[in-house]
Structure 1
């Protein structure tokens, strides 16, 4: 039994049309019109497949295929449908569409799992205007309080609660997310790096995800006339922020490891040609698989920011937006994927993920694992993002057979544990 690769590739192409730009990039951030449209398309297709479709309070989309046992645990497979601005058509969407294809393949072959099988498309996995990435999976894992989100607004003044409501959710109920009896969570994703390509391999089995830390940094100077304010009297927020950006790169390069630090978003106020910038806001992101290393890098960078702010006589403040610790995936699921890959004749390597994914939050509440497929040239978050159909076919079939194996093994484990209790 194999997935239908032609059907899957057709789905990938069809979904890429929602938010498609003139240069081939896909712009479908969460709560954009393109996102709302693709959500409706996805829900309709799940219903047409005969799945039980629900939307939870944070607007995650769920589609359930009933298993053979009553009051059953669920195995969940999914990812996200939102994209970064001018991104690619594979990041996130591939994992959701592979999950959909796997369910359709099981239906086509009249295969019924013992566990319920649920597809999920998580809300706002990517960074977004509300500055809460992996929003859907974090909420599902119980990591948000209503008070944290209820008053959040984007740059246009749109309230997050209104955006979620339009998508079918309700933030006022976020602390009452329905309890699901979960056996395991599986996610397929493009690698977004070159490790698989360098090894000429289609698939990688992910054993852990690095820790990710994000601060919103606010630099406040004094806005003033650019012609009448002499240089020595300026409190230029942008000059100070620019030195901070350079400092981030300087400190990250000192660390002799895979640790990375980035300033990828910066806003200048009032952003006028003839006004000395009075305020700058930017996002600082630091990633490392080593907690001690990551915390030292955070400390060093923040101290350099304080030194720079004092030198330029500007105010400095930090608002933490994310501090997710590194996570390790479930060994039983990893071994199942290894066995399947070997039985299918698909060579693989076991690799970490330098990017954050919904799976890292799901790993806090259930057994979880990830499978990577090769990314051409390691390019992602870019219109040139590409994964070959043959690599997708191997990855999707590995995930399909892993799902079937895990369904059996988890059931056997439960039966064994029950007999011991008796």
Structure 2
């Protein structure tokens, strides 16, 4: 058994977290670093510079993923670590970015040792995970797995009508070359991430080893009523789309909450049309984010949500339609890699526990094609996807140390 502990540079990791968090920072706090925007490009350049300073071989692929490589005696296989560089609008500086920087810190520490890995190690700063600018759905991971269609960059558009292809060209990438990002050498993927919940904090446990990543369904829901005058139309003669949508979402929320403790449903985006104070709304377009760790239960909740919506719509005399935008099945993490993370935590004197991930991650998609595992570090008060997102420096350092130790066990 390999019981070597690999320590990382705590001051450097803390500096990297703070410095990277300045790129895309908003005046009122929080982050907006979106795929292929200027802050994204600056961030990827900075990460590439830090990779070179760590003594790693640096390259970018056709979609903008940035890699730092530590070659092994067998350079035909790669153990990959890292996460994504993009953020949600008004997000935090730890989501995704900490996994990139912890992976960098781990490989820097390993590169400094007087030994060569048997299998090559690589850290990746993935170009996209959040679908914040384009409905790209793990674009960086999908490109590595050969799952991006050649025409996809030309068909995906952001809210301003800019195509992904145009955005790629603006940062020096060739959208016609996306197929060249495909890789066949990845033997395993290990991702460090903030928990984005408070299980670890509540339990007083240092790190979490993810057992399963939740499945996710995104639906666009359109409720169509009748547009009328707010003063001239009696309350009992209205087909108010907002009131119908409010009842639909309230009933679905109650149903999911009462079904079991593993389901989650969120209606985070609403577009009321025409959106004027003196007009009874004729249409509402809203989002539904539905999650569950069991694939059968996820499908069941999605079907039940549509049935509830149809019943409310019929009662209120409105119409409701659903369009599925994203469909990701739950993914179980590799047992052998999970054990390697738990063993590494013990070597580092860190307490650990198994837990599910309620958020989706690149490991979810990667885990469908190669062995994958995730290591969680605590989130203060469980806050994430907000400017209050925070993980204590000592927790960041502990997690990166466990990651480096696990990578040593796996590759040396």
Say if 2:96 and 2:193, in contact at 8 Å, map to a contact too.
yes
Unaligned runs of 5+ in 1: 409-422
Alignment match, 1:385: 389
For residues 148 and 222 of structure 1, the distance between their equivalents in structure 2, rounded to whole angstroms, comes to: 36
1:8 to 6, 13, 25: 13
Structure 1's 278 and 167: CA in aligned 2 closer, same or farther, altered over 3 A? farther
Q: Aligned runs of 1:325-364 on 2, under 5 Å? A: 325-364=329-368
Q: Aligned runs of 1:183-332 on 2, under 5 Å? A: 183-227=187-231, 231=235, 234-332=238-336
After TM superposition, give the deviation of residue 242 of structure 1 in Å.
Answer: 2.1
For residues 165 and 259 of structure 1, the distance between their equivalents in structure 2, rounded to whole angstroms, comes to: 40
After TM superposition, give the deviation of residue 53 of structure 1 in Å.
Answer: 3.0
After TM superposition, give the deviation of residue 37 of structure 1 in Å.
Answer: 2.2
Structure 1's 400 and 247: CA in aligned 2 closer, same or farther, altered over 3 A? same
Say if 2:61 and 2:180, in contact at 8 Å, map to a contact too.
no
After TM superposition, give the deviation of residue 363 of structure 1 in Å.
Answer: 0.8
After TM superposition, give the deviation of residue 147 of structure 1 in Å.
Answer: 4.5
Structure 1's 4 and 261: CA in aligned 2 closer, same or farther, altered over 3 A? same
Q: Are 2:19 and 1:17 aligned?
A: no
Q: Are 2:78 and 1:66 aligned?
A: no
Alignment match, 1:368: 372
For residues 36 and 212 of structure 1, the distance between their equivalents in structure 2, rounded to whole angstroms, comes to: 29
Moved more, 159-168 or 244-253: 159-168
Structure 1's 214 and 332: CA in aligned 2 closer, same or farther, altered over 3 A? same
2:109 to 105, 109, 126: 105
For residues 228 and 173 of structure 1, the distance between their equivalents in structure 2, rounded to whole angstroms, comes to: 58
Structure 1's 229 and 27: CA in aligned 2 closer, same or farther, altered over 3 A? same
Say if 1:55 and 1:168, in contact at 8 Å, map to a contact too.
no
After superposition, the C-alpha distances for 1:322-369 in whole angstroms (9 at most, x for unaligned) are: 211111111111121222222222111111111111111111121111
For residues 308 and 376 of structure 1, the distance between their equivalents in structure 2, rounded to whole angstroms, comes to: 39
After superposition, the C-alpha distances for 1:92-139 in whole angstroms (9 at most, x for unaligned) are: 110000111112222333442222222112222114132334332234
Say if 1:248 and 1:262, in contact at 8 Å, map to a contact too.
no
1:163 to 162, 167, 170: 167
Q: Aligned runs of 1:390-405 on 2, under 5 Å? A: 390-405=394-409
Alignment match, 1:411: none
For residues 276 and 381 of structure 2, the distance between their equivalents in structure 1, rounded to whole angstroms, comes to: 38
2:61 to 34, 56, 60: 56
After TM superposition, give the deviation of residue 2 of structure 1 in Å.
Answer: 1.0
Q: Are 2:141 and 1:137 aligned?
A: yes
Say if 2:55 and 2:111, in contact at 8 Å, map to a contact too.
no
For residues 111 and 126 of structure 1, the distance between their equivalents in structure 2, rounded to whole angstroms, comes to: 37
Moved more, 204-213 or 223-232: 223-232
For residues 158 and 11 of structure 1, the distance between their equivalents in structure 2, rounded to whole angstroms, comes to: 31
Q: Aligned runs of 1:32-43 on 2, under 5 Å? A: 32-43=37-48
Moved more, 153-162 or 48-57: 48-57
2:183 to 166, 179, 189: 179
Say if 2:313 and 2:319, in contact at 8 Å, map to a contact too.
yes
Q: Are 2:40 and 1:28 aligned?
A: no
After TM superposition, give the deviation of residue 13 of structure 1 in Å.
Answer: 0.5
Provide TM-score, normalisation by structure 1: 0.89
Alignment match, 1:414: none
After TM superposition, give the deviation of residue 143 of structure 1 in Å.
Answer: 3.7
Count of residues paired in the alignment: 407
Unaligned runs of 5+ in 2: 1-5
After TM superposition, give the deviation of residue 243 of structure 1 in Å.
Answer: 2.1
Moved more, 135-144 or 336-345: 135-144
RMSD: 2.3
